[in-house]
């Protein structure tokens, strides 16, 4: 009477896991760095002017996004969260810090995350 619906499998699940895992490791590492006092994060966030709470908040968002990215059912939420984070980071580089050249890296990560989202959306 009722058919059980399920999500279609990825056309290449190994590549899907590898790409999501790579992004997850990258953002897990970057988010965890923000909790320490090294790596220049303290100075950069002081220059932004929002205080240490914003550095900790950004670290939590990046770690949470990385964890969500590893779980197949929550990967879209993780991609969205991290994509918004990278877009906001690029906007901060351009408008708040006055270094638009540095925004290229964050925009590159945003484009990569959007590409993974687009690939997963079509399956």
Proportion of the chain above pLDDT 90, given as a percent: 77
Q: What is the pLDDT of residue 92?
A: 96
Tokens of 115: 């590409």
Whether the Cβ atoms of residue 20 and residue 47 lie closer than 8 Å to each other: no
d(CA 114, CA 84): 10
pLDDT digits (tens, 9 = 90+) for 35-84: 998 778 999 999 999 989 999 999 999 999 999 999 999 999 999 999 99
Buried b / exposed e along 48-57 (16+ C-beta atoms within 10 A) = beeeeeebee
Q: What is the pTM of this model?
A: 0.86
């Amino acid at each position: 009477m009722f058919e059980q619906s399920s999500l279609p499998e990825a056309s290449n699940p190994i590549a899907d896991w590898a790409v999501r895992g790579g992004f997850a490791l990258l953002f897990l590492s970057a988010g965890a760095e923000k909790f320490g006092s090294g790596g220049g994060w303290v100075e950069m966030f002081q220059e932004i002017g929002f205080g240490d709470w914003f550095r900790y908040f950004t670290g939590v968002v990046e770690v949470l996004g990385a964890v969500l990215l590893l779980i197949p059912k929550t990967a879209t939420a993780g991609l969205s969260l991290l994509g918004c984070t990278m877009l906001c980071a690029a906007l901060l580089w351009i408008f708040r810090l006055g270094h638009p050249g540095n925004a290229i890296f964050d925009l590159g990560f945003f484009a990569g995350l959007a590409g993974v989202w687009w690939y997963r959306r079509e399956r």
